[in-house]
Structure 1
């Protein structure tokens, strides 16, 4: 059986887990990609992403208040759709999108660490460092909840303070200008349109989705009916403020072309004109701290979600001779899959696939709440429908842009989702036949 410990995570610890996941890859790896899609006013896209995320969070908060569970999203889907293919497949989409996020964070760790040594981000050392970070995250996660929440809470506080200092100093040097980044002689990287700006929101939503880490630890949070919602909104608010300040600071100190050129390490590049060589070291140090805490918190949540799905017999499970609980086994699976993705994909494609899978799952959640749980959960249907429509619009824009710029990742994402739904259908049918 899985080992869930009731009341083992405080409100502060839950906020630490949420911000720990969000303020990592979100600003370090995605800032340049958002700028590439959205253009010179890309800091505003983070505000748009926060608004869309707040609408989405409403469904999760209502569900968490009614069904606090260590399975989080997996349990929500069971309540909405029953123990069937939709539930199992959507839950796996969520879990895998979180694992994809872990590989995004791992590669971000490698990319920023190598900036100290002036090593190109295409170096083979990037995935090697990423795999090393994932190994460290595994070791930390087997130590238990209390250490994890203490570690992530302290580290989250350090990185938030550090990033806030960087942003304020950068804005002060730039005279707190509110102008967008200049094109630097014309941007030849992407044709920015309203559609591409909306598409960019998909990446900012990916940078906010760490709030689901809190729902996936629901039954372990003290006073869950009250504190889950609080922790989610506090985490989103803190992250939104930090994201906007940092994006504003970067756009005030680099041209748009410079931001896009340094896409995978834009924050480190912006540190050079702001604080010189010491600024680079400071930013890399914060990036290392942020990615370490982010990956530890994410692995913590995913392994528990997968363990709950296993307990509910919604996904297949093999021990492979490993001792210990199911949760320990799912922790191993989570880390191994994240390592493979870290080795095989670059940051841009990892982020794109993660955004597509997450938004599809999010749409399924909102429809389940609106269609099947309105009477039980008691949500405002207008808010839930608004969240669903916003997700559909953003996902449609993102796929439209990616089809024209990187169709392979769209095809791979669709094939991957088809395989998940087909595989789950076969597994569940086999389980029914064996009864």
Structure 2
């Protein structure tokens, strides 16, 4: 039996929620605040609130599915249940694997930017080096086992959320209300367009579905962990956005880039506040990398076990406690490539598009299963429309101005399809299996 197979039932509801919170908070508030401000202006808080509502609709769907079908495969199990063993779940499996790697790379780049600002005066080369280092460190931690992941994540999230709460209270108490006046907001179209970016800040909630294998009572605990993680993340995002944009002008936020929170701490807390927020950013992005890598082991073993991934993905190098799961190493390697060759903005755009495609397909699968899960069809319809509309808006407002990102998205979709078709042909014809029906 594999090492991970002997470590089941380790998580509490709060620990499962922390996996999601760690991924969301690190992926969003430190990395995307400036980019979202460039689109939504001082209305970023509203954009985060609307994005949180869309994520909650997806969370409802995922919680219903996870309660009925608890599995180490998370949302991939839901796709297989809804679409069978066809090419739709197969291609989506590769897309989800890529999406997790993209999230990991984005927050690693954010970590590298903060670390570089502290140690090398924002040297771009060193930023990439630091980004690679945090990926390698969190890969080693995940190889130790899920119990170690839970313990480290709990510490990181507690520290980050506590500091961000203090930051939000202090900045809101001293903010200038005129900076948040609705009269200064951009058009409704711009605010809606910004949701495509702020929604990316919530992508980590899908990671919670992979904790089902480590929960003693997933039917009761998984929905609680899902909504708890979303509630905490949304509250943090909205409060921090109000604090930042109530302290700095929109132009100042955009100019500060990834260090907007640290800059917003200066007027009230001085240089000590700036340093504290930088340290918090390093903790937060470290936790996000940890959370993003966490699903790779269970996801790869599940998909290799069901035949959707080649068997090598379910294996490990080494023996005993020194095992390195191949799925974990593959995701880490993919993330390292992105860190080395892509910038933060392009990685975020790419991740948003891929994740929105995956979430839309999961909701479509849920339509076929709603009688088994007991989900309300009208909620699923709204959930699907919200992701599709967000994706369409994203394509027409962001990808049209980022041809390299658009080409990368097409390449990921095409490669996922080609790998799935090639692997299933080899499996079905060389091993005598019954060919899958698309």
Per the normalisation by structure 2, the TM-score is 0.92
User: Hey, what's the Cα distance between the residues in 2 that align with 1:29 and 1:354?
Assistant: 13
Please list the CA deviations of residues 70-119 of structure 1 after superposition, one character each: whole Å capped at 9, or x if unmatched: 11011111101112211011122122111101111111111112333472
Q: 1:205 offset after TM fit, Å? A: 1.8
Q: Residue 396 of structure 1 aligns with which residue?
A: 392
Stretch moving more, 410-419 or 227-236 = 410-419
Q: Residue 151 of structure 2 aligns with which residue?
A: 150
Please list the CA deviations of residues 194-220 of structure 1 after superposition, one character each: whole Å capped at 9, or x if unmatched: 443223212222211211111012121
Q: 1:178 offset after TM fit, Å? A: 7.1
User: Hey, what's the Cα distance between the residues in 2 that align with 1:414 and 1:193?
Assistant: 30
Stretch moving more, 323-332 or 96-105 = 323-332
User: Hey, what's the Cα distance between the residues in 1 that align with 2:189 and 2:210?
Assistant: 33
Q: 1:277 offset after TM fit, Å? A: 1.1
2:379 pairs with 1:377 = no
Q: Residue 226 of structure 2 aligns with which residue?
A: 232
**Which of 306, 318, 322 does residue 323 from structure 1 map onto?**
318
User: Hey, what's the Cα distance between the residues in 2 that align with 1:180 and 1:107?
Assistant: 33
Q: Residue 11 of structure 1 aligns with which residue?
A: 13
Kindly tell me the number of residue pairs found equivalent between the two proteins.
Answer: 426
Q: 1:327 offset after TM fit, Å? A: 7.2
2:436 pairs with 1:433 = no
Q: Residue 55 of structure 1 aligns with which residue?
A: 57
2:42 pairs with 1:43 = no
Question: 3-state SS of the aligned residue for 2:309?
Answer: coil
8 Å CA contact 1:181, 1:251 repeated in 2: no
8 Å CA contact 2:179, 2:245 repeated in 1: no
Q: 1:242 offset after TM fit, Å? A: 0.5
Q: 1:369 offset after TM fit, Å? A: 0.8
What is the correspondence of 1:179-218 to structure 2 with a 5 Å cutoff? Answer: 179-180=180-181, 193-218=187-212
Mark the CA change 1:181 to 1:285 in structure 2 (over 3 Å): closer, same or farther: farther
2:342 pairs with 1:345 = yes
User: Hey, what's the Cα distance between the residues in 1 that align with 2:21 and 2:359?
Assistant: 19
**Which of 294, 302, 311 does residue 288 from structure 2 map onto?**
294
Mark the CA change 1:432 to 1:289 in structure 2 (over 3 Å): closer, same or farther: same
User: Hey, what's the Cα distance between the residues in 1 that align with 2:8 and 2:312?
Assistant: 27
Q: Residue 364 of structure 2 aligns with which residue?
A: 367
**Which of 276, 284, 296 does residue 282 from structure 1 map onto?**
276
Question: 3-state SS of the aligned residue for 2:268?
Answer: helix
8 Å CA contact 2:135, 2:332 repeated in 1: yes
Runs of 4 or more off by more than 6 Å in structure 1? none
Q: 1:18 offset after TM fit, Å? A: 1.2
Please list the CA deviations of residues 267-300 of structure 1 after superposition, one character each: whole Å capped at 9, or x if unmatched: 2222222322111110011111111112112211
Mark the CA change 1:260 to 1:83 in structure 2 (over 3 Å): closer, same or farther: same
Mark the CA change 1:169 to 1:215 in structure 2 (over 3 Å): closer, same or farther: same
8 Å CA contact 2:210, 2:295 repeated in 1: yes
User: Hey, what's the Cα distance between the residues in 2 that align with 1:405 and 1:264?
Assistant: 21
Stretch moving more, 234-243 or 135-144 = 135-144
Mark the CA change 1:386 to 1:182 in structure 2 (over 3 Å): closer, same or farther: closer
Question: 3-state SS of the aligned residue for 2:17?
Answer: helix
Q: 1:432 offset after TM fit, Å? A: 1.1
Unaligned runs of 5+ in 1: none
Question: 3-state SS of the aligned residue for 2:194?
Answer: helix
Please list the CA deviations of residues 305-344 of structure 1 after superposition, one character each: whole Å capped at 9, or x if unmatched: 1221112111235479933599711111111111111111
8 Å CA contact 1:170, 1:249 repeated in 2: yes
**Which of 55, 79, 82 does residue 81 from structure 2 map onto?**
79
Q: 1:233 offset after TM fit, Å? A: 0.2
Stretch moving more, 244-253 or 84-93 = 84-93
What is the correspondence of 1:233-272 to structure 2 with a 5 Å cutoff? Answer: 233-272=227-266
User: Hey, what's the Cα distance between the residues in 2 that align with 1:128 and 1:255?
Assistant: 32
Mark the CA change 1:308 to 1:25 in structure 2 (over 3 Å): closer, same or farther: same
User: Hey, what's the Cα distance between the residues in 2 that align with 1:321 and 1:95?
Assistant: 17
User: Hey, what's the Cα distance between the residues in 1 that align with 2:423 and 2:189?
Assistant: 39
8 Å CA contact 1:195, 1:397 repeated in 2: no
What is the correspondence of 1:17-32 to structure 2 with a 5 Å cutoff? Answer: 17-32=19-34
Q: 1:176 offset after TM fit, Å? A: 6.0
Question: 3-state SS of the aligned residue for 1:314?
Answer: coil
Question: 3-state SS of the aligned residue for 2:398?
Answer: helix
Q: 1:182 offset after TM fit, Å? A: 9.8
Q: 1:153 offset after TM fit, Å? A: 1.0
Per the normalisation by structure 1, the TM-score is 0.93
8 Å CA contact 2:179, 2:247 repeated in 1: no
Higher helix share: 2
